[in-house]
């Protein structure tokens, strides 16, 4: 049995044959119930009960062993390999930039037609890439569209096989993938493992296990009309859109790129994804992994395409051209609010729907009832300083009720000062926090902190850029602890997106909720308390798209629909909604009973013989369809009969 291989079409045919065989037998047999013969047709009794039992046994074997084995064969992973990029090798000695300030903050070189990439942690040059043109994008979209024509016809098992193969590759190459992500983003290897690899594996595993169920036709109740509900069925079928797009941010170059690709592949779409100009080097390698995986599984690698360009200028409108491309049927945007305005304006020209995930000002609320402050401080530290605070659902505000506030300040003051900065990409140094993607926001961060201090906040640690003795060209900012922050301060209202831990004191539970809702964002939040009823009440009062109770950001790992409200954007990706959102939700109604179908009644058939009779017929039909009175329905049926001709 282990050597049996059946493709999806063979499985369907075999399934159909077994069903037809059993149906034929049933039609030829007398039907019994509790030893009482209900239907008898001795003339057609050609098959004995013994034959029927054999048939059932064969059917059981087919369903129990052959079908599952065949399905496992179609989903069996394929191994593949890729050459290692030179800069991804451990202890790589790439040349360093002479002056990091000579590199524009967007990562581009002096040549406006090229994009210069370098390692933010060390200043090592990673490479130079040509900024794509409008013609380049047309070619990418055309290739993806051509590949999608065949891909949309693949079965879920074939798509799962690709995802399983990709999952295996990631598991076997964690060190390499993390190092590539760190080279281009400056984060630590540990941060890359948690923020890049773990969440990507979870998305893959979740779709492999639950994606097929999420995209099955969704049966609906159908009409409530008394006369139609008996024979009309209704369902929603989820079909691929075609070629979709995504504009993803630089803070998680592997996960942010792979997430939309995984969802696109499984939903039967092709994707042309636009990475940030900050991380072109790593994105080129990561897209190669996806292409090689598709090719190794026997599919067209053109299904996934990568594009990149410099930001829009008076002479270069490539970025907006991508967002307005008429062949892109859906866009996912992950980035800042100012850039979102440009993307949405461009997408409106082609009426392309956009899912917008912007920044956050996520609050972690510690209620009076919560007691284990030391354990909570570890969550706060990880949620604030992972990836140097460059995390859309990172903890931007720690709001602590009055009873626990001073204790928590004391605990965090001791811990933040011990954080070590540096790079462990090549050497396994004991470092806690890596570099930021660039230094273009350092002055802004310093001004926000300085302004808060002038308004009464206390700066206990950090607050300024840091020149690392081993990596003087790296982009490092000191881990910062700012306490006694109040809502009117600029740092409490605007996204920091950096390693700054801001603490706010709440008088009581209601005041904590007020403080949490005082910022113009609404992406995520966390609530910690020993009284679950109280935590649940607070969760219902928070103005955000996602909430974790007694945990941090696990709503993302749980593959729930992810997205925010207010200044954090709109729309959802992730989970079932993320998959169905990339499909055409086609509404289909049908006749449940083959011998009953909709007919135009004679009084309503053109040309109408009598408007008086037609009106009486329709009125009786409406009344009989929706009245709550059985007697009124009976009278309506009599009226329908009178006016039927």
| Band (398; pLDDT cuts 50, 70, 90) | very high
pLDDT at residue 101 above 60? no
- Inter-residue contact 70 to 6 (CB < 8 Å): yes
First to last CA, the chain: 64
CA dist 582 to 138, 265, 329, 333, 572, Å?
21, 10, 9, 13, 10
pLDDT band per the 50, 70, 90 thresholds, residue 106: very low
pLDDT for residue 489: 98
Question: Tell me, what's the pLDDT at 51?
Answer: 60
- Confirm if 263 and 573 have CB atoms less than 8 A apart: yes
- Span 165-170, mean pLDDT? 98
How far is residue 469's CA from residue 467's CA, in Å, rounded to a whole number? 6
Confidence at 105, pLDDT banded by 50, 70, 90 = very low
Residue 615 pLDDT grade (very low, low, confident, very high; cuts 50, 70, 90): very high
- Pick among 3.40.50.880, 3.40.640.10, 3.40.605.10, 3.60.90.10: CATH of 132-357+578-585: 3.40.605.10
Around Cβ 2, how many Cβ atoms within 10 Å? 8
Q: Which residue has the tokens 């009953």?
A: 596
Q: State pLDDT tens for residues 21-52.
A: 444 444 444 444 333 343 434 443 444 556 65
Mean pLDDT of 398-411: 98
What's the mean pLDDT when you consider all of the chain? 89
CB environment 161-181: b (16+ within 10 A), e (fewer):
bbbbbbbbbbeebbebbbbbb
pLDDT per residue as tens digits for the range 470-526? 999 999 999 999 999 999 999 999 999 999 999 999 999 999 999 999 999 999 999
Does the pLDDT of residue 242 top 50, yes or no? yes
Q: What is the C-alpha separation between 355 and 263, in angstroms, rounded?
A: 14
What does the pLDDT read at residue 44?
A: 39
Comparing CA positions, the residue from 186, 204, 188 lying closest to residue 250 is 186
Dihedral sign of CA atoms 140, 145, 146, 152 in order: positive
Token pair 């809702």 is at which residue? 517
Averaged pLDDT for residues 181-202: 97
Calpha distance 72→119 (Å, rounded): 42
Q: Quick one: average pLDDT of 350-357?
A: 97
Please write the tens of the pLDDT for every residue from 144-166.
Answer: 999 999 999 999 999 999 999 99
Report the catalytic residues: 357
CATH class, 363-561 region: alpha beta
User: By C-alpha distance, which of 352, 203, 198 is closest to 263?
Assistant: 203
Please say if the pLDDT value at position 53 is more than 70: no
C-alpha dihedral (58, 61, 63, 65), degrees to nearest 10: -160
Share of the chain above pLDDT 70, in %: 86
The confidence score (pLDDT) of residue 4 equals 36
Collapsing DSSP to helix, strand or coil, 459 comes out as strand
219, two tokens? 């049966």
Looking at residues 10-27, what average pLDDT do you find? 48
> pTM for the whole thing?
0.86
Exposure pattern of 141-159 as b/e (b: 16+ CB <10 Å)?
bebbbebbeebeebbbbbb
Q: Using alpha carbons only, what angle is made at residue 462 by residues 459 and 468, rounded to the nearest 5 degrees? A: 170
Averaged over 558-578, what is the pLDDT?
Answer: 96
CB neighbour class for 558 (10 Å; exposed up to 12, middle 13-18, buried from 19)? middle
Is 412 in a helix, a strand, or coil?
Answer: helix
Element containing residue 309 per DSSP (H, E): none
Where exactly are the structural domains of the chain?
8-74, 132-357+578-585, 363-561, 599-643
Of the listed ranges 69-83, 177-191, 323-337, 570-584, the one predicted with least confidence? 69-83
Yes or no: say if 168 and 227 are a contact pair by the CB < 8 Å rule: no
């Amino acid at each position: 049995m282990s050597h049996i291989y059946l493709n999806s079409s063979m499985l369907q045919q075999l399934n159909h044959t077994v069903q037809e065989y059993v149906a034929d037998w049933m039609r030829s047999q007398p039907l019994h119930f509790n030893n009482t013969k209900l239907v008898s047709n001795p003339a057609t009794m050609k098959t004995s009960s013994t034959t029927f039992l054999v048939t059932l046994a064969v059917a059981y074997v087919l369903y129990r062993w052959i079908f599952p084995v065949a399905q496992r064969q179609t989903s069996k992973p394929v191994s593949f390999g890729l050459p290692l990029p030179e800069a991804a090798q451990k202890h790589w000695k790439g040349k360093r930039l002479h002056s990091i300030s000579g590199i524009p903050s967007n990562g581009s070189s002096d040549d406006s037609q090229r994009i210069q990439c370098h390692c933010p942690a060390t200043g090592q040059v990673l490479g130079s890439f040509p900024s794509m043109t409008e013609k380049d994008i047309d070619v990418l979209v055309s290739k993806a569209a051509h590949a999608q024509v065949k891909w949309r016809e693949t079965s879920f098992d074939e798509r799962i096989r690709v995802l399983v193969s990709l999952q295996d590759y990631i598991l076997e190459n964690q060190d390499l993938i993390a190092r590539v992500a760190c080279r281009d983003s400056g984060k630590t290897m540990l941060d890359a493992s948690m923020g890049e690899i773990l969440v990507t594996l979870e998305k893959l595993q979740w779709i492999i296990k639950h994606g097929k169920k999420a995209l099955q036709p969704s049966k609906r109740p159908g009409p409530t009309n008394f006369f139609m509900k008996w024979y009309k069925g209704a369902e929603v079928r989820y079909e691929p859109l075609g070629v979709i797009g995504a504009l993803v941010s630089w803070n998680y170059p592997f996960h942010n790129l792979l997430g939309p690709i995984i969802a696109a592949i499984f939903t039967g779409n092709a994707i042309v994804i636009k990475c940030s100009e900050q991380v072109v080097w790593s994105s080129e390698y990561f897209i190669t992994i996806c292409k090689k995986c598709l090719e190794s599984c026997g599919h067209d690698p053109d299904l996934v395409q990568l594009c990149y360009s410099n930001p829009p200028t008076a002479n270069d409108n490539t970025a907006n051209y991508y967002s307005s491309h008429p062949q892109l049927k859906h866009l996912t945007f992950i980035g800042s609010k100012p850039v979102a305005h440009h993307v949405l304006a461009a997408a409106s020209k082609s009426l392309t729907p956009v899912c917008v995930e912007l920044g956050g000002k996520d609050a972690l609320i510690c209620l009076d009832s919560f007691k284990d402050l030391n354990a909570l401080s570890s969550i706060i530290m990880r949620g604030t300083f992972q990836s140097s605070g460059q995390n859309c659902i990172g903890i931007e505000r720690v709001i602590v009720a009055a009873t626990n506030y001073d204790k928590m300040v004391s605990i965090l003051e001791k811990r933040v000062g011990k954080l070590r900065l540096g790079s462990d990409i090549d050497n396994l140094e004991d470092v806690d926090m890596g570099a930021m993607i660039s230094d273009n926001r350092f002055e802004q961060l310093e001004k926000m902190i300085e302004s808060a201090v002038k308004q009464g906040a206390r700066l206990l640690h950090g607050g300024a850029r840091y020149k690392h003795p081993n990596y003087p060209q790296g982009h490092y900012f000191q881990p910062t602890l700012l306490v006694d922050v109040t809502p009117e301060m600029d740092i409490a209202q605007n996204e920091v997106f950096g390693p700054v831990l801001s603490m706010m004191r709440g008088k009581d539970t209601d005041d904590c909720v007020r403080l949490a809702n005082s910022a113009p964002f609404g992406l995520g939040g966390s609530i910690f308390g020993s009284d679950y009823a109280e935590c649940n009440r607070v969760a219902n009062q928070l103005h955000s798209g996602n909430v974790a109770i007694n945990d941090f950001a696990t709503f993302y790992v749980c593959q729930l629909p992810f997205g925010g409200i207010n200044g954090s954007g709109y729309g959802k990706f992730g989970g079932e909604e993320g998959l169905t959102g990339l499909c055409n939700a086609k509404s289909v109604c049908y006749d449940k009973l083959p011998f009953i179908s909709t007919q135009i009644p004679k009084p309503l058939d053109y040309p109408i013989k009598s408007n008086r009779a037609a009106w009486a017929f329709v009125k009786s039909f409406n009344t009989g369809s929706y009245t709550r009175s059985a007697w009124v329905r009976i009278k309506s049926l009599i009226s329908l009969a009178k006016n039927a001709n």
